[in-house]
Structure 1
Amino acid sequence: MGAEQIRRWESGALAHAVSDPFGQGPLPWLRGSENYFDDTGQVVPWYADLARSTGGGTRTADDVHRQIKGFVSPGAAAPGEAIDFHITVDPPQQFSVDVYRIGHYGGDGAAKITTSPRLSGIVQPPPLAADRTVSCHHWWMSWRLQIPSYWSVGAYVAVLTTADGYRSHIPFTVRHDHPADLLLLLPDITWQAYNLYPEDGRTGASLYHAWDERGRLLGEEDAAVTISFDRPYAGAGLPLHVGHAYDFIRWAERYGYDLAYADARDLHAGRIDPSRYRGLVFPGHDEYWTTPMRRAAERARDGGTSLVFLSANTMYWQVGLAPSASGIPDRLLTCRKRRGPGKSALWREVDRPEQQLLGIQYAGRVPEPSPLVVRNAEHWLWDATGAADGDEIDGLVAGEADRYFPRTSLPEHDSRILLAHSPYQDSEGATRHQETSLYQAPSGALVFASGTFAWSPALDRPGHVDARIQQATANLLDRICKRD
Structure 2
Amino acid sequence: MEKEPGRRWESGTHAHGVSDPFGQGPLPWLRSPDQYVAGTEGAIAWYVSTDAPGQRPLPSAAPRPLVGAPRTSDDVVQQIKGFASAGVVLPGGSVDLRVTVHPPRDFVVDVYRIGHYAGAGAQHMTASPLIAGLQQPAPLVVGRTVSCHHWWHTWRLQIPVHWHPGAYVAVLTTADQRHRSHIPFTVRDPVGVGPAPELLLVLPDVTWQAYNLFPEDGHTGASLYHAWDEQGRLLGESEAAVTVSFDRPHAGAGLPLHVGHAYDFIRWAERYGYDLAYATASDLHAGLVEPSRHRAMIFPGHDEYWSEPMRRAAEAARDGGTSLVFLSANTMYWRVELTPAPSGEPNRLLNCRKRRRIEPGLPAAGPPGAASALWRDAGEPEQGLLGVQYAGRVAEPVPLRAGNTWHWLWAGTGLRDGDEVANLVAGEADRYFPKVVLPVHTERTLLAHSPYRDEAGRARFQETSLYRAPSGAYVFAAGTFAWSPALDRPGHTDERIQRATANLLDQLCKDG
> TM-score when scaled to structure 1?
0.94
Deviation of 1:24 (Å): 5.3
Does residue 114 of structure 1 match 2:132? no
Distance in 1 of aligned mates of 2:482 and 2:46: 14
1:156 to 127, 151, 168: 168
Counterpart amino acid of residue 474 in structure 2: L
1:417 to 423, 445, 450: 445
**What's the counterpart of residue 387 of structure 2?**
359
1:125 to 137, 156, 172: 137
Which region of structure 1 is more displaced relative to structure 2, 333-342 or 246-255?
A: 333-342
| Partner secondary structure for residue 22 of structure 1 | helix
Does residue 175 of structure 1 match 2:188? yes
2:399 to 371, 381, 397: 371
Does residue 435 of structure 1 match 2:463? yes
**What's the counterpart of residue 156 of structure 2?**
144
| Partner secondary structure for residue 243 of structure 1 | helix
Which region of structure 1 is more displaced relative to structure 2, 326-335 or 17-26?
A: 17-26
Distance in 2 of aligned mates of 1:335 and 1:54: 43
Q: How does 1:37-76 map to 2 (within 5 A)?
A: 37=54, 43-44=57-58, 53=65, 57-74=69-86, 76=88
**What's the counterpart of residue 101 of structure 1?**
113
Distance in 2 of aligned mates of 1:169 and 1:15: 20
Distance in 2 of aligned mates of 1:434 and 1:75: 39
Whichever structure has more strand as a proportion of its residues is 1
Deviation of 1:76 (Å): 4.4
**What's the counterpart of residue 38 of structure 2?**
none
**What's the counterpart of residue 289 of structure 1?**
306
1:21 to 20, 28, 33: 28
Distance in 2 of aligned mates of 1:98 and 1:374: 43
Deviation of 1:54 (Å): 7.2
| Partner secondary structure for residue 303 of structure 2 | coil
Distance in 2 of aligned mates of 1:454 and 1:460: 11
**What's the counterpart of residue 347 of structure 1?**
375
Deviation of 1:34 (Å): 3.0
Deviation of 1:430 (Å): 1.3
1:333-387 deviation line (CA, Å, top 9, x unaligned): 0001132134341001111000000000000000100110000000000000000
Q: How does 1:314-325 map to 2 (within 5 A)?
A: 314-325=331-342
Does residue 195 of structure 1 match 2:212? yes
Could you tell me which runs of 5 or more consecutive residues in structure 2 were left unpaired when the two chains were aligned. Answer: 35-44, 367-372
1:386-426 deviation line (CA, Å, top 9, x unaligned): 00000011100000000000000000000001000000011
| Partner secondary structure for residue 330 of structure 2 | coil
**What's the counterpart of residue 185 of structure 1?**
202
1:42-66 deviation line (CA, Å, top 9, x unaligned): 5338x997x9647761111000111
1:412-451 deviation line (CA, Å, top 9, x unaligned): 0000010000000112211101000000000000000000
**Compared with structure 1, are the counterparts of its residues 369 and 70 closer, same or farther at alpha carbon in structure 2 (3 Å cutoff)?**
same
Deviation of 1:306 (Å): 0.2
Contact 1:17 1:461 in 2 (8 A): no
Distance in 2 of aligned mates of 1:18 and 1:378: 32
Does residue 80 of structure 1 match 2:87? no
**Compared with structure 1, are the counterparts of its residues 393 and 333 closer, same or farther at alpha carbon in structure 2 (3 Å cutoff)?**
same
**Compared with structure 1, are the counterparts of its residues 287 and 218 closer, same or farther at alpha carbon in structure 2 (3 Å cutoff)?**
same
Contact 2:200 2:294 in 1 (8 A): yes
Distance in 2 of aligned mates of 1:17 and 1:401: 19
Distance in 2 of aligned mates of 1:405 and 1:48: 46
| Partner secondary structure for residue 397 of structure 2 | strand
**Compared with structure 1, are the counterparts of its residues 60 and 102 closer, same or farther at alpha carbon in structure 2 (3 Å cutoff)?**
same
| Partner secondary structure for residue 473 of structure 1 | helix
Contact 1:65 1:90 in 2 (8 A): yes
Deviation of 1:36 (Å): 6.4
Contact 2:450 2:462 in 1 (8 A): yes
| Partner secondary structure for residue 480 of structure 1 | helix
Percent identity, aligned pairs only, is 65
Contact 1:173 1:262 in 2 (8 A): yes
Distance in 1 of aligned mates of 2:88 and 2:338: 16
| Partner secondary structure for residue 413 of structure 1 | coil
Could you tell me which runs of 5 or more consecutive residues in structure 1 were left unpaired when the two chains were aligned. Answer: none
Does residue 335 of structure 1 match 2:352? yes
Contact 2:25 2:261 in 1 (8 A): no
Does residue 426 of structure 1 match 2:454? yes
Counterpart amino acid of residue 278 in structure 2: Y
**What's the counterpart of residue 472 of structure 1?**
500
Counterpart amino acid of residue 490 in structure 2: P
Counterpart amino acid of residue 187 in structure 1: P
Contact 1:25 1:56 in 2 (8 A): no
**What's the counterpart of residue 237 of structure 1?**
254
Contact 1:16 1:463 in 2 (8 A): no
Which region of structure 1 is more displaced relative to structure 2, 20-29 or 96-105?
A: 20-29
Distance in 2 of aligned mates of 1:305 and 1:117: 43
Distance in 2 of aligned mates of 1:416 and 1:396: 22
Aligned residues: 477
Q: How does 1:452-467 map to 2 (within 5 A)?
A: 452-467=480-495
Contact 1:36 1:44 in 2 (8 A): no
Distance in 1 of aligned mates of 2:88 and 2:494: 32
**Compared with structure 1, are the counterparts of its residues 367 and 231 closer, same or farther at alpha carbon in structure 2 (3 Å cutoff)?**
same
Contact 2:86 2:345 in 1 (8 A): no
| Partner secondary structure for residue 267 of structure 1 | helix
Counterpart amino acid of residue 2 in structure 1: E
Distance in 2 of aligned mates of 1:167 and 1:24: 13
Pairwise CA RMSD: 2.3
Counterpart amino acid of residue 300 in structure 2: P
Deviation of 1:147 (Å): 1.2
1:387 to 391, 410, 415: 415
Counterpart amino acid of residue 188 in structure 2: R
Distance in 2 of aligned mates of 1:31 and 1:75: 32
**What's the counterpart of residue 262 of structure 1?**
279
> TM-score when scaled to structure 2?
0.89
1:273-293 deviation line (CA, Å, top 9, x unaligned): 111100000000000000000
| Partner secondary structure for residue 198 of structure 2 | strand
